[in-house]
Chains A and B, each alone.
With several copies, the nearest count.
Chain A
Amino acid sequence: DETKPVKLDLDEFRRYGRQMIMTEVGLDGQLQLKRSKVLLIGAGGLGCPAAAYLAGAGIGTIGIIDHDIVEPSNLHRQIMHTVDRVGQPKVISIIESLKQINPYPKYIAHNYPLSPENAIETLEKYDLVLDCTDSPQTRYMISDACVLLGKPLVSASALRSDGQLVVLNDPPGEGPCYRCVFPRPPPAESVLSCGEGGVLGPVVGAMGVLMSTEALKVLLARADRKKRRKPAHLPATADEIKDADSKEEGTVEPRKFYMTIYAAFSDTPFKTIRMFGKRKTCQACSPVATITKESMKNGSLDYIAFCGGQASGRYPPL
C-alpha cells in the first residue's frame, strides 16, 4: 500500500504548514508521513515525547505497545500521562493525550507484553519501529525481529544523566543491527533500570524527541527515493549509485554509521561517534545468520538467558 493515494484536507494543510514549507518535507514528504505506519515499543520516558512529536508531525498510523499502567513515579518524565490517569494502562493514557494534540492519525493500542512469540506478527504491519524499552533482552529481541522483517529501527536509551541514540538496520540489509553494535550482552549485574539507577526527566525526554526526528528522517528519505532524487540529507546508497545518472561530479562515499551519545552534566554534552557498521559474522543480519522467524516464534531463542538472567521460556518473566 505504498502507492495508496493519500491527500490532505484544508485543516491538515494549516496544521502541517510550518513543516511543509521546509525543502526536506514539502507536499511529497507530508504525504509520505501520512502514508507511514510507525510502531513505538514502550509508552514511558522515551515513548511519550517520541509519540507526541510523531503525532504532531502527522504520521498516518501510530501503534503503541506497552502493558504497564501509569504510576505516580512515572509522571516526572512521562509527559503524555496525567495525574487523573494513574492506574490506567499506559497505551490508553498516551493515546488519549496524543488525540488531543492531533486527532488525524490512526492510533492502535497493543496492550500486551512483547514476546518472541508475538514480535513478528506485532511488528510486521508497520514500516518503522522505535525501541523505547528498558532492558537488554527486549532490545536484542526487537532488533532481531526488525532484521527478519526488513524494518528500520530507531533505538535509544537513557539512564541517570546519560543517553544514547542509534538508527539500526537502515536501510534494511545495509545498516548494522543491534547485535552488530553490541555482539555480546553486558553482564547482568552491570545493568540498571531507570527505577534502580534513577533518571533525570529531560535527559530521557531529549532522547525521545531525538528519536522522533530520526524517525522522520528515515520516512522522508523514502519520499525522496520514490522521486528518484538523492535525499537532501543523505549520501547515496549502493542502489541509488547504480540507478543515478552519472551527471554529478565527484565520487560517492560509502555511508557511515553513527551513534549520538549525551552526557547531560558534561560541559561538552553531545558526541557523535562513528560505529563499526555491519558485522560479517552477525547472528541476525549477516549471510551466516542463524536467527529465523521460526526460531523466534517457537520460543527457542531465550533472550533472558542470553543476557545472563535466569533462563525462561518467555519475556517478560511473569
Chain B
Amino acid sequence: MATDSIAINVELAGGLEILFNNERKLNVELPATTANGSPPNINYLVGHLCDHHMKDSRRELFELQGTVRPGILVLINDADWELEGEGEYELKPKDQILFVSTLHGG
C-alpha cells in the first residue's frame, strides 16, 4: 500500500519544536487521498501534526480555525506559503515544509 501514502519532510523552528518533544525534523507519512477525495493539503497536514505528532496539550499554540495560528510562517520548499497557495497547497512527495514561529526577543 506504499503508493497510497506520500512521505514529506517537516521541520519545526523558532520554538515550535518544543511542542513536538524537541524534535526539529519529522518524517511524516500522509494518505495520498483524504476523506474528501483530494490530496492532502497544508491545512490537512496541520491537523495531522496536532493529532499524531504533537506532544503538548496546547493545540492552540499551533492550530487555529483549521490552519496555523497567526505568528507562524509556513515555508513550502523554502518559499513563503503565500507564494504557493497557502493552506490549500496540495502536498507532493518529498516536499519540505517548514513551520517557524516568529520571534520578538532581542
Contacts and interface: CB of A to CB of B under 8 A. Distances in A.
A/B touching: CB–CB < 8 A: yes
Nearest to A196: B105
Interface string B73-106: 1010011101100000000000000101111111
A190 B106 contact: no
B11 to A, nearest CB: 8
A44 B14 contact: no
A129 to B, nearest CB: 14
B106 A42 contact: yes
A135 B103 CA distance: 9
Contact of A134 (B75, B80, B104): B104
Contact of B15 (A46, A159, A259, A276): A159
Contact of B104 (A45, A159, A187): A159
Nearest to A42: B106
A252 B98 CA distance: 23
B93 to A, nearest CB: 20
Interface string A25-45: 000000000000000001011
A192 interface: yes
B33 interface: no
B31 interface: no
Nearest to B14: A162
Nearest to A50: B106
Most buried by A among B15, B24, B71, B105: B105
Nearest to B100: A261
B56 to A, nearest CB: 12
B32 interface: no
A184 B79 contact: no
Contact of B80 (A162, A197, A232, A275): A275
Contacts of B80: 273-276
Interface string B21-65: 010100000000000000000000000000000000000110000
A139 interface: yes
Contacts of A157: 102-106
A290 interface: no
Contacts of A193: 104-105
Nearest to B72: A186
B106 A186 contact: no
Contacts of B70: 182, 184-187
Interface in A169-224: 182, 184-187, 189-194, 197, 199, 204
28 contacts: A44-B106, A132-B106, A133-B106, A134-B105, A136-B104, A158-B106, A160-B15, A162-B13, A163-B103, A164-B102, A164-B103, A182-B71, A186-B70, A187-B60, A189-B61, A190-B61, A190-B71, A192-B15, A192-B105, A194-B105, A197-B105, A199-B105, A261-B14, A266-B24, A271-B75, A273-B73, A273-B78, A273-B80
Given A131-B106, A139-B104, A186-B102, 5 more contacts: A157-B105, A158-B103, A164-B102, A232-B22, A273-B100
Interface of B: 13-15, 22, 24, 60-61, 69-73, 75, 78-80, 82-83, 98, 100-106
